[in-house]
């Protein structure tokens, strides 16, 4: 459904992505793992055109596009099929939980208000926060804000959702609730790319793993193969170091 070839991105002459390939089928949950500074977040931001790729082609829903050549209109059309969940939530501060979800539906997708609210409530229900519909972001905990952000992402009925370290800004006791929501989405067959440091989550929920280091994909394989039959010594030592942290 989504295929990326030769994605490159540099900031001020410093190459962050050095030619990344990636493919995703409908219903896949791709976990992107790897050390900090390896280009995981930049990859995800390029996928939703929050950063403009320097090179690379994208094939999405059967249509192949040259990524740097996409204009504003192409990007807007593409974004109707995607959603993005940020590390720092980025809920609209001047909107309630419900309005955060309806904003895109009513304004961007021109949906009737009643229809949008019905859909938004269902999305909030899905993340267990229907009772917080009238709360402003400042009145919600980090975990609740992130769940509202996920509801906002889901409500647009995207073909794929991008998660950028969705639990990295959360207190440890709030992480579980957010991961449970993402897990439930996976069980419902939602296609997702999740940049994460939660290895256990990647092992249990993802269908594929992409391992990024130094701007390259060191591995892109099914989750079971990645964890159980890992041959790359660098990845094995990375996983071992995380295991130690878990103990």
Partner 1 sequence: MGQGLLVTIPLTVISFALALGIAVICAMIQIADVKGLKQVVRFYIWLIRGTPLLVQLYLVYFGLPDLGIALPAFPCAVAVFALNEGAYCAETVRAAIESVPKGQMEAGYCVGLSYIQIMRRIILPQAFRTAFPPLSNSLISMVKDTSLAANITVTEMFMTTQRVAGRTYEHLALYAEVALIYLLFCTVITWLQRLGEKKLNAMNGGNVIRA
Regarding 237 and contact with partner 1 (CB under 8 A), the answer is: no
Span near partner 1 by CB under 8 A; candidates 10-18, 24-32, 103-111, 193-201? 103-111
Window of 21-29, 94-102, 118-126, 223-231 that interacts with partner 1 by CB under 8 A: 94-102
Backbone angles phi, psi at 208, to 5 degrees: -135, 155
Q: Residues 34, 38, 137, 143: which binds partner 1 (CB under 8 A)?
A: 137
Q: Does 95 bind partner 1 (CB under 8 A)?
A: yes
Would you count residue 94 as binding partner 1 (CB under 8 A)?
yes
| C-alpha separations of 202 from 150, 164, 167, 170, 212 in Å | 18, 14, 13, 18, 14
| 112 near partner 1 (CB under 8 A) | no
Q: Is 149 exposed, middle or buried (0-12, 13-18, 19+ CB in 10 A)?
A: buried
Of the ranges 4-12, 23-31, 144-152, 211-219, which one interacts with partner 1 (CB under 8 A)?
Answer: 144-152
86 vs 238, beta carbon nearer partner 1: 86
**Closer residue to partner 1 in complex, CB, 4/120:** 120
Residues 23-82 that bind partner 1 (CB under 8 A): 48, 50, 76, 79-80, 82
| Residue 185-224 contact track with partner 1, rule CB under 8 A, x = bound | ----------------------------------------
Binding mask 154-173 for partner 1 (x = CB under 8 A): --x------------x----
CB of 142 to partner 1, least distance (A): 6
Beta-bridge mates of residue 20: 7
Q: Which of residues 83, 124, 182, 199 is near partner 1 by CB under 8 A?
A: 83
Judged by the rule CB under 8 A, the positions of this chain that interact with partner 1 are 48, 50, 76, 79-80, 82-84, 86, 88-96, 103-104, 107-109, 135-139, 142, 145, 149, 152, 156, 169
């Amino acid at each position: 459904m989504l295929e990326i070839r030769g994605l490159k991105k540099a900031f001020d002459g410093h190459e962050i992505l050095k030619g990344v390939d990636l493919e995703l089928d409908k219903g896949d949950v791709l976990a992107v793992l790897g050390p900090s500074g390896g280009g995981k977040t930049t990859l995800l931001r390029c996928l939703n055109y929050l950063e403009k790729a320097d090179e690379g082609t994208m094939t999405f829903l059967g249509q192949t596009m040259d990524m740097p050549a996409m204009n504003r209109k192409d990007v807007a059309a593409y974004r109707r099929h995607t959603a993005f969940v940020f590390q720092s939530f980025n809920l609209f501060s001047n909107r309630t939980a419900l309005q955060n979800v309806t904003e895109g539906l009513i304004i961007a997708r021109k949906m009737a208000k009643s229809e949008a609210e019905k859909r938004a409530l269902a999305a909030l229900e899905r993340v267990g926060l229907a009772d917080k519909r009238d709360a402003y972001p400042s009145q919600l905990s980090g975990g609740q804000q992130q769940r509202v952000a996920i509801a906002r992402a889901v409500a647009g009925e995207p073909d794929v959702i991008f998660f950028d370290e969705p639990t990295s800004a959360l207190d440890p006791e709030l992480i579980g609730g957010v991961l449970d929501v993402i897990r439930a989405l996976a069980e419902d067959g939602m296609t997702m790319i999740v940049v994460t440091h939660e290895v256990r989550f990647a092992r249990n929920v993802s269908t594929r793993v992409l391992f990024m280091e130094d701007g390259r994909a060191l591995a892109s394989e099914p989750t079971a193969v990645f964890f159980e039959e890992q041959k790359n010594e660098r990845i094995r030592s990375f996983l071992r170091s995380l295991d130690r942290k878990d103990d």
